[in-house]
Amino acid sequence: MAGPDVRLTAWVHGHVQGVGFRWWTRSRALELGLTGYAANRPDGRVQVVAQGPREHCQRLLELLQGGSTPGRVDTVVADWAVATEPIDGFTER
């Protein structure tokens, strides 16, 4: 039996703005059935918030770290929490 949905917040550092990174992340998240968003931050990072089954969020995190993303990912800092508020769809912000 699956546990409660989780919320992954990933801070992606590197050359990840202006290279299609948010679009790519949204596509992967939708393929995994996740909800959330990918947002450019003023300091050059992209913040990814994804909600759904832990194994699907873990797979998205692996993809973010995997080297096949647009641009260049230097590091990903991940924070895990229990999903409390529902999010509709997966958007680019």
Q: Which CATH number fits the domain that encloses residue 64?
A: 3.30.70.100
- Taking the model in full, what pTM does it have? 0.94
27: left (phi over 0), alpha (psi -120 to 50) or beta: alpha
Residue 22, domain member (yes or no):
yes
Longest dimension (CA), the chain: 40
Per-residue pLDDT reduced to its tens digit, 6-52 = 999 999 999 999 999 999 999 999 999 999 999 999 999 999 999 99
The number of domains in the chain is 1
Residue 93, domain member (yes or no):
no
Amino acid identity for residue 93 in this structure: R
Whether residue 67 is predicted with pLDDT greater than 90 in this model: the reply is no
Position 2 confidence tier, pLDDT thresholds 50, 70, 90:
low
Domain that holds residue 51: 2-6+17-78
Active site residue 40: yes
> What is the C-alpha to C-alpha distance for residues 54 and 75, in angstroms, rounded to an integer?
21
Residue 41, domain member (yes or no):
yes
Q: Which residue has the higher pLDDT, 2 or 48?
A: 48
Active site residue 28: no
Q: Which of 7, 22, 26, 45 does the annotation list as catalytic? A: 22
Residue 92, domain member (yes or no):
no
